[in-house]
Amino acid sequence: MPIPSRAELVDHLIETRISGEVATPRENNLAHYRHLANGDRNWWLGLELGDRWSDEQDVLAVMAERCGVIDDPEFRQGQDTIDPELTVAGLDRMAGRLRKAAEGGERVLFATGHPGALLDLHRRTAQAMREAGCEVVRIPGGLHADEGCVVQFADVAVFERGASLWHTHSPEPMSAILDGLDRAGRPQPDLVVADHGWAGRAGQRGLDSIGYADCNDPALFLGELEGTMQVTVPLDDHVTDPRFYEPMTAYLLHAAGLPGADRAY
């Protein structure tokens, strides 16, 4: 299939509910914003936010601006939104950083806390970066975090527990990787492409970190605003079919000038 134009991608994002009227309800979004504002580190996604975001309404304002949720503080229940134009704008920013990495032959680490949805998106991006001359970081073996293991499938670091890959927001698996690289005397990544706490912890450690975040995960958007994250792309991070992300992947690789865009779906 042809690589989608910007307008075609926007239509696809809305149709598949990657953006537009997404599955996440307003009640869930506001609850997460409240948890973050109350200092619950489970919602900080590996970042250190201090007391800078202790007002839930300030968090909502940022999410309206950078993610496209409804900006009315009196809207408490119902369907919330992600602006597809902000999704595509985020992909364009991400493409710029990927292009820079490819031009410099950088070491790039890929990781996901959403293996049931985003694993193939990260895998295809990793493959394109390797073909462009980058080193895709191979994580050390024997890493443990959160009573499970940190492993790597198809060039993407994931969390495994009980012989299953887990959905996790925890930053501890990323800490295990970065600490493991140090112990092995290996260099840290030049760039991390991830989501959830994997992306946040990498940015907090001072690494260039770019990633994806849903409208109920405000921390990474705050991180980009503060400069800890380089890019945060707003999207629903677990739609009903992982293949729905394929046109988006093709658009991203094409915008970054990477090989394989026409093979992304």
Per-residue pLDDT of the chain (265 residues; tens, 9 = 90+): 789 999 999 999 999 999 999 999 999 999 999 999 999 999 999 999 999 999 999 999 999 999 999 999 999 999 999 999 999 999 999 999 999 999 999 999 999 999 999 999 999 999 999 999 999 999 999 999 999 999 999 999 999 999 999 999 999 999 999 999 999 999 999 999 999 999 999 999 999 999 999 999 999 999 999 999 999 999 999 999 999 999 999 999 999 999 999 887 7
Token duo for residue 77: 């229940």
Q: Count CA within 13 A, CB hemisphere, residue 252.
A: 27
| CA 78 from centre of chain | 25
Task: Map tokens 């293996």 to a residue.
Answer: 115
- E strands along the chain, which residues? 20-25, 79-82, 107-111, 135-136, 143-145, 148-153, 156-161, 164-165, 191-195, 208-213, 231-234
Closest to 214 in 3D by CA, of 81, 60, 62, 65: 81
